[in-house]
Amino acid sequence: MKTFETYELEDRLISGLKAEGIVSPTEIQDKAIPLLMANKDVIGEAVTGSGKTLAYLLPAFQKIDENSKDLHTLVLAPTHELVIQVNNVIKSLSDASGKTVRSVAILGEVNIKRQVEALKAKPHIIVGTPGRILELIEMKKIKAHQVKTIVIDEGDKLLSDDNISTVQRVIKTTLRDRQLCIFSASVNAVAIERAEALMKEPALIQLSEEKVNMDISHYCILTEKRDRINTLRKVIHAVNPKKAIVFINMNEMVQEVESKLRHHKIQAVGIFGNARKADRKQALDAFRSGEANVLIASDLVARGLDLQDITHVISLDVPPNLNEYVHRAGRTGRAGNKGVAISIITEKDVNALMKIEKQHHIEFEVKEVRQGKLVEPKR
C-alpha cells in the first residue's frame, strides 16, 4: 500500500493528513502529485469523490513558503459551493498540519469591499469564481504576476463556451512560466483541446472510465409529466431515505419542488445557482447535519460538493448528458455501502434510459408506488 511518504512531502503535512484519517493516496493523487511537484502542467480526470482537491492542494502546500506574503496559488471554481468547500479543505489542512497557509474565498454577487479587505491579509491561496477574480485583478487588488500555480477545478464547466473567455483572460494576467492544472470529473474532447492550447506539454491523466458501482440498485418509475412531483413525494415516503439527493435539470424548478415536498412534511432543502450565498450555505448545513434529509439540486450546483452518507439518488429528470447519470448515481453506494438510484420518467424518457442501460451495462428495475411501498408493477 502506498503512503504519502512516497512523495517527499513535509512530515507535518503527512501528520496532518493522518490526523484527518487520511493515510494512503487515492489513484488520482498518486498519479498527479509527483507531476505537480515537478511543476508539470496536468489535466486530471477522475470521478466525483476521488480526492482531486488534495491532489492539487498537497503540492501547493509543499511549495508555499508560509513566511512569504506573495500569492502562490489561484484556484478557479464554477460555483459558490465548490469555492467554499475547497477553501474549507485548505483551512482544515492548515490547522491539522500546523503549516500556516493563508487563504481567501472570492465569490461573485458578494460585497466586493469586504473581499478587498480580506485580501489585505496577503493570502497564499485564493479560491474563487472566475468573473470576480478577473474583476479584482483588473482593480489591481490581486497581484496576478505573483501566481506560481493556477488550478481550474471542474474544468469541463470552466472551459465551456459560457466561461472560457473569462478563464483565458485570468490566465493571460499571469506570467508565462506559471504552472497550470485542470481537474474535472469528466473532460470531453473540446475541453482537452482548449486546455492544451493554454498549457505547456500537459500530462493527461484519465481515470474516470464510466464504471457503475455494483453496490447500487437502479430503479425507474413511469409517470405522467404533470404527476412527477407528486410521484417524487410518494417515492420519498415509500423509501424513507436517511439522506437523498434529488436531481433536477432546470434550476428554476428547485424552489417549486422544495416547497411542495415541505408542504407534505418532507424535510427538503434546495440549492440553486442564483440563490443568496447565505441561503445556499444554510441549506447545505441543514442537509449535512441531518436536519434535512432531502437535497434538491441541479447537476451543476451539486458538482464537486462533498456529501456523505447518501442512501438514495433520485432523478426527477433524465440528465441531458447521459454520462452525467453515472456521476449522479455515484453519489450513493460509497465505502462498501449499498445505494439506490431511482429515475422518475415519462414515456418520452424511455429511449434515453435504454441508452444508459446499454452504454453503462446496467439494468433498470421497473417499480411503482403502491400502498406506500416501492413494489414490482402489477402484470
Q: What is the pLDDT of residue 171?
A: 96
Closest CA to 296 of 276, 280, 318: 280
Which residues, in sequence order, are CB contacts of 142 under 8 Å at separation 6+? 71, 74, 119, 126, 133, 136
CA 100 to chain centre: 26
Q: Which residues of 123-142 are buried (b: 16+ CB within 10 A; e: fewer)?
A: bbbbbbbbbbbbbbbeeebb
pLDDT of residue 211: 61
pLDDT at 210: 53
Helices (H) and strands (E) in the chain, counts: 15, 15
What is the amino acid identity at position 66? E
CA dihedral 250, 252, 255, 260 (to 10 degrees): -70
Q: What is the predicted pLDDT for the residue at 81?
A: 85
* 42 neighbors 32 (Cβ within 8 angstroms): yes
Q: Alpha-carbon distance 145 to 274, whole Å?
A: 32
Task: Check: CB of residue 104 under 8 Å from CB of residue 126.
Answer: yes
Question: By three-state DSSP, how is residue 211 classified?
Answer: coil
Q: Is the pTM of this model over 0.85?
A: no
The answer to whether the CB of 208 falls within 8 A of the CB of 322 is: no
Per the structure block, which three cell numbers stand in for 4? 504519502
* Count of CB atoms situated within 10 Å of the CB of 20: 15
DSSP state of 133: H
- List the grid coordinates of 219: 430503479
Helix, strand, or coil here: 201? coil
Residue 337 confidence (pLDDT): 86
Classify residue 252 by its DSSP letter. G
> How far is the C-alpha of 333 from the C-alpha of 213, rounded, in Å?
7
Q: Is beta strand 149-153 parallel, antiparallel or unpaired with respect to 216-222?
A: unpaired
Lookup result for grid cell 474544468: 155
Residue count of the chain: 379
Would you tell me the crossing angle of helices 189-198 and 164-172 to the nearest 10 degrees? 20
Distance CA 219, CA 209 (A): 22
Q: Tens place of pLDDT for every residue, the chain, 379 residues?
A: 688 998 989 999 999 998 877 888 988 999 999 999 999 999 999 877 778 999 999 999 999 999 999 999 999 999 888 999 899 999 999 999 999 999 999 998 889 999 999 999 999 999 999 999 999 999 999 999 999 999 999 998 899 999 999 999 999 999 999 999 999 988 888 889 999 999 999 999 988 555 667 889 999 999 999 999 999 999 999 999 999 999 998 878 899 999 999 999 999 999 876 667 678 788 989 999 999 999 998 876 666 677 889 999 999 999 887 777 887 888 898 777 899 999 999 999 999 999 999 888 899 999 999 999 999 988 6
Distance CA(90)–CA(125), nearest Å, equals: 9
| Cell numbers standing for residue 296 | 434538491
pLDDT of residue 305: 73
**Which are the contacts of 262, defined by CB distance < 8 A and separation ≥ 6?**
268
Query: Over the range 158-178, which residues count as b (16 or more CB within 10 Å of their CB) and which as e?
Result: bbbeebbebbeebbebbeeeb
